[in-house]
Amino acid sequence: GQNIDQPTEMTATEGAIVQINCTYQTSGFNGLFWYQQHAGEAPTFLSYNVLDGLEEKGRFSSFLSRSKGYSYLLLKELQMKDSASYLCAVRFGSNDYKLSFGAGTTVTVRA
Partner 1 sequence: DAGITQSPRHKVTETGTPVTLRCHQTENHRYMYWYRQDPGHGLRLIHYSYGVKDTDKGEVSDGYSVSRSKTEDFLLTLESATSSQTSVYFCAIRTEDNSPLHFGNGTRLTVT
C-beta of 88: minimal distance to partner 1 in Å? 9
Stretch that binds partner 1, among 9-17, 64-72, 75-83, 91-99 (CB under 8 A): 91-99
107 closest CA partner among 84, 91, 88: 84
- Residue 21 CA neighbour count, 13 Å, CB half: 7
Does position 29 interact with partner 1 (CB under 8 A)? The reply is no
53's CB contacts (< 8 A; 6+ apart) are 63, 64
- Confirm or reject binding of residue 103 to partner 1 (CB under 8 A): yes
Tell me which amino acid residue 13 is. Answer: T
Q: Is 43 a binder of partner 1 (CB under 8 A)?
A: yes
Q: Which of 9, 14, 41, 52 binds partner 1 (CB under 8 A)?
A: 41
